Structures are given as structure tokens and as C-alpha cells.
Amino acid sequence: MLMEEDLGHKPSMLHDSLALQATQKSLYDALNNNLDKSCSFNTSGRSLDTSSFLDSNWSPFRVSNPWRSSSGEGGYISHLSFNDEFLGHDSEPRNKNIGDFLDMESDRSPNSSEIKKNRSREDSDLTEYHRCNKQLANDADESEPLEMYDDVLICSKSDSPMQNCGETAWRKEKKSQRNEQSKGEPNRGRGGKKKKIIDLRSLLMQCAQAVANFDNKTLNDLLLEIRQHSSPKGDGMERVAHYFANALEARLACTGIELYASLNSKRISAIEILKAYKMFVIACPLKHMSNIMANRTIGNLASRATTLHVIDFGILYGFQWPCLIHALSRRPGGPPKLRITGIDFPQSGFRPAERVEDTCRRLAKYCKRFGVPFAYNAIAQKWDTITLEDFKIEKNELLVVNSMFRLHNVPDQTETGNSPRDAVLNLIKEINPDMFVHGIANATYSSPFFVTRFKEAFYHFSTMFDMFEATVPQDDEDRLLYEEQFFGKEAMNIIACEGTERVEMPETYKQWQVRTVRVGFRQVPIDQEILKRVTKVKKNYHKYFSVDEDGKWILLGWKGRVIQGFSCWTPTHN
């Protein structure tokens, strides 16, 4: 464990810490020398490559726990980068096309007791936040064979669809719990105590104004009152107030980036993550629907391809892809060669590519299991510094760029006035893909002006907490974990951080429309059969979830507020 030191005044300590990290890395490599030789990595280089396709002699290996926490960036699972349509059944006949095979998954219920889904911490580890890795990253003790996660990642055909009642199982459970509580509580008469009604929204807006006026005394007084009436276990508004108060206090104490970094580096057990993700997909169809659109679109394109190359900006743990891998394995005439270039931000510490390395192992094992020839090229660096040569594009391959809810973590402006976000879009244009599949988090809390940003963040997170309030019991521990790790962490970055420290900077789908067209892309419509599938999935959830179209965008939301947008693009010269 490295001790906290004032490195600015003790330069020799910096060299000592770097030497210690190098020693730790050597120890890590020695402890992990049993990794499969087919996945070779070079963490000191620009990219990591598993260049040769896997054959039948490729040996299985044990995989590091995919849900372990990483000391890195906090991003949007912005929503979650996991697939709610993982497939099983090696006994399925090969007489279906890829689209039909994916259709079978969209009909399955996310509420079946048999299904266990995983949720990854949609970290967004932009590496500037913690320079020194204070914990050895060896998780060999958590390594488990990937097959043990089959009941989480692969749906069973026996799972019965959810009844189209417009409510989730969590909603029903919540009603049942409330009824039981009301039966057990004595009837309070006219003399009973009434809960004091506090306008938390008004108090929070006054806090924002106090921050803008540098009125710390008023801010402290307001926060004291908010603390008395907010709770992470209360109703939706009380929870919003709790996490916003945390962020305001951090801003007041100038500790926002430290607290945000600590939330990113918090280590959570796999079983907790599994349960929290299951809660999310049962309560909310957003990730399920976005994965259906992305995977079916790619599957339709690849129906006759001999080689499919997917370049995934923001691959995280790669859980979007096992469903597509299995579908490709069932393609009439055999599967194509699958090449995946997995891109993510580098993690802090001596293993900046740890997550993309683990993703290679998981996806390689799925491809071996389902008989799909596979090659993986991993890139862990700032996205605007990637070059076309890093992708190792080959001739005569179907080329798809995929980015789901991660491009908003790329800065829009720098001190030099350049836009890394536009640079990434220009790079995607230079790739010249057959299709660019883009999912975005639709929000407007990117303003440099604090009060405006605070208000927009309040409206956004009020919607998210209200969504859970309507579908998940208040005392559900998985809900508490999810809200802390995603909503609380994002609120901390938005409210307590400024300048380059602020990485949660989404845009509306209309802003992305202008930006993407300006770079040189042409939007293409979503297949109507895919849209029908998405609409069918939505009917299995709460009635306030929505699926709408605006032009060629598919918009997913709650109570009329758009939360996510989905679109497909091709370069204009195509």
C-alpha cells in the first residue's frame, strides 16, 4: 500500500513510488503467468493484439472476475454496457437467420426467477484522477470459470415471458409490501403525528444560488436543513436531495475530485453487482431495448459477411457481444470470422489495459465455445489520440463501429480550443465503416454555468430516481447500491467538479445530430421490424416507459422525458 505523501515537495518519493509500482507489476506478472498464450498483451504499447484467429486447439483458461471494481473512470451503464439478450442452447438448429435468433431473445422475460443478469459498474476512468494506484490489482483469488456465469449471461429457453400488464414484478412486490405494512400499522387518529412537508426542490435550488453567490454561510444552513429531511433510503426526492447534498458539501470543501475518485475505486463483490444489475434490468427496459437495436442491426448486416469487424468505442466488459457471437454461430453456412477492436479509456496504475485484457479473455472463450473464429485488438488510451493504423483494418471485411453511451465522456473542449469529441467522430468517419451504431445519453447538464447545470442535473436525476421509485421497493439493497454507484457518483462529478475534472458532459440527441452530420455522416432509418421488437419489449414494463421516433432517431424515456437516443449512420460518400 503506498502512503499518502506530499510528492510536490518530495520529488524523490515519486521515483520511489514508481519503482514500487514496477515491482508490483513484476509480481503481478509472475502470479498470472498461467494466462492463455493465445491472448498476448503489451501494456506498454499503444494497443494490445490477439492477432491470430482461434482454432479448435485453443485451450480454455480461467477468467478474472468480470465485475470486479476498477480504479478508474465513472461513466454512464450511463447507462449500462451490458446485454439483456444473451443466448444459450447449443442444441438449437442452424436453420434460422441471425435476426430470427435474436428475435427469440427479445421475447424472453427479464423477470424470470431463472435469469440472473450482471451489471457492471459503468466506470468511466479518465486517468487524470488518481495517479498512484494504491492497491495491487491482482484478483486471482476472485477468478472463476466463465461457465459459472451462464445463468447470469445466457437466458434459458424455458423462461416464460412476462405478462403484459404494464407493471414489473418489482412494482407488484412493492404494492404487496406496502399493503402488509399498512395492515401492521395501528390506525393513527386525528392526534397522530404528521410528517412535516419540506420543499426539498426549493432548498436545493437555493443551494445552487448560494454557490453562485459564494455565500458559504447560507449554503451551510441550507445543507443542514436538507440533511434533516433527506435519506438514501427515503422516497425518490429524498434520495435526490441526499446525493446532491453530498456533492454540494464536497464542492464547498473542495474535495469533489477526491470523493469522485474514491467512488470509482471502491471495490464491490461480484454477487452484489449481479444482484444490482438484475434489479436494474427488471425495473427498467432501457438497456434491453438498446441492445436489441444494436445487435439486430449488426446481425442483419452480417448475414452474408465472411469477416465481421466490430470497432467498439467504450467496450467496458464486452457483455454486449456474447448474444451476437451465439447468433453468428447459428448462421446458415457457418459463422463469419469475428474481429473485435475493443477500445476503452486507460485505467490508472500499472495495468492501464487491465479491463480490455479481461474483456478479450471473456469474448475469446465465448467464441471458442460457440465455434466462431475470433481475433481481438485491444486499445486502452485517450480516444482522440488513436490513429487509423491502430485498428488494423483488413480488406473485404464488414466494418461496424459501435459506441453505446460513452462518447459523452470524451471532452468537448480543451485549453487549446480543440474538440477531442469531434476528433473521435472524424476518426470514425476516416474508418469509413459500413455502419456506425450510436447510443447516446440524452441530457443537458453540460453547461459551464453552475446554476444552469445544477438545475438540469436535478431534472434529469429526479426522473431517474422517480423511475426506480415507481418500480423498486425503497428498502431494496440492490437499488441502494445501484443509486450510489451510478447516480450518486455522476452527481458528484457534475456538481462538485469543474474544468477538466468534469467528465459527465452529455448532449441532447439533437445536438449529436448536428455534430455527426457536420463531421460527414448520413443518418439511416432503423429497421421497422427491429422497432416492433423494441416496442414489444416495452409493453412488458411499467406503462410510463416510452419508445418514440423523431426523424430517424429512436428515443427511450420515462414519463415523457427522453433518457436515451439510438441512431445508425453511414459516411456521406457511401
Q: Which of 4, 489, 80, 27 has the alpha carbon at shortest distance from 266?
A: 489
Three-class DSSP category at 312: strand
Tell me the per-residue pLDDT of 187-225, one tens digit each, with 9 for 90 and over.
Answer: 444 444 556 778 999 999 999 999 999 999 999 999 999
| Residues β-bridged to residue 561 | 558
Spatial distance between the Cα atoms of 146 and 11, rounded to a whole number of angstroms? 44
- What number is the average pLDDT over the span 99-127? 43
Q: Are 336 and 396 in contact (CB under 8 A)?
A: no
- What number is the average pLDDT over the span 114-138? 39
Give the cell for residue 298: 449488426
Task: Write the single-letter amino acid at 284.
Answer: C
Instruction: Give the number of other Cβ atoms within 10 Å of residue 301's Cβ.
Output: 18
Query: Which of the given ranges, 124-128, 262-266, 290-294, has the highest pLDDT on average?
Result: 290-294
Three-class DSSP category at 567: strand
What per-residue confidence (pLDDT) applies to 517?
A: 97
Query: Which of the given ranges, 9-13, 129-133, 319-323, has the highest pLDDT on average?
Result: 319-323
Q: Strands 521-524, 561-571: parallel, antiparallel or unpaired by DSSP? A: antiparallel
User: What DSSP state is assigned to residue 345?
Assistant: P
Spatial distance between the Cα atoms of 382 and 384, rounded to a whole number of angstroms? 6
- Check pLDDT > 80 for residue 186: no
- Check pLDDT > 90 for residue 15: no
Tell me the per-residue pLDDT of 536-565, one tens digit each, with 9 for 90 and over.
Answer: 989 989 999 999 999 999 999 999 999 999
What per-residue confidence (pLDDT) applies to 53?
A: 36
**Higher-confidence position of 541 and 287:** 541
Spatial distance between the Cα atoms of 387 and 520, rounded to a whole number of angstroms? 18
Spatial distance between the Cα atoms of 439 and 402, rounded to a whole number of angstroms? 8
**Higher-confidence position of 178 and 472:** 472
Q: Strands 435-441, 561-571: parallel, antiparallel or unpaired by DSSP? A: antiparallel
Q: Are 392 and 49 in contact (CB under 8 A)?
A: yes
Task: For 24-158+284-446+503-571, give the CATH class.
Answer: alpha beta
Q: Which residue has the cell 412493492?
A: 174
- Check pLDDT > 80 for residue 69: no
Task: Write the single-letter amino acid at 67.
Answer: W
Confidence of residue 157 (pLDDT cuts 50, 70, 90): very low
Q: Which residue has the cell 451462464?
A: 150
- Check pLDDT > 60 for residue 104: no
What per-residue confidence (pLDDT) applies to 441?
A: 96
What per-residue confidence (pLDDT) applies to 560?
A: 93
**Higher-confidence position of 250 and 52:** 250
- Check pLDDT > 80 for residue 92: no
Phi first, then psi: give them for residue 2, nearest 5 degrees. Answer: -80, 140
- Check pLDDT > 50 for residue 418: yes
- What number is the average pLDDT over the span 119-148? 42
Q: Strands 307-313, 337-344: parallel, antiparallel or unpaired by DSSP? A: parallel
**Strand runs (DSSP E) across 494-560, as ranges?**
521-524, 545-550, 553-558
Spatial distance between the Cα atoms of 411 and 419, rounded to a whole number of angstroms? 7
Spatial distance between the Cα atoms of 488 and 495, rounded to a whole number of angstroms? 11
Tell me the per-residue pLDDT of 457-503, one tens digit each, with 9 for 90 and over.
Answer: 999 999 999 999 999 999 999 999 999 988 999 999 999 999 889 99
Query: Which of the given ranges, 122-126, 238-242, 251-255, 318-322, has the highest pLDDT on average?
Result: 238-242
What per-residue confidence (pLDDT) applies to 101?
A: 52
Give the cell for residue 145: 470459470
- What number is the average pLDDT over the span 419-436? 96
- Check pLDDT > 60 for residue 179: no
Element holding 470 (H helix, E strand): helix 450-471
Give, in order, the Cα–Cα distances in Å from 300 to each of 98, 327, 529: 7, 11, 11
Angle subtended at Cα 126 by Cα 120 and Cα 127, rounded to the nearest 5 degrees: 115
Give the cell for residue 279: 434489479
Confidence of residue 148 (pLDDT cuts 50, 70, 90): low
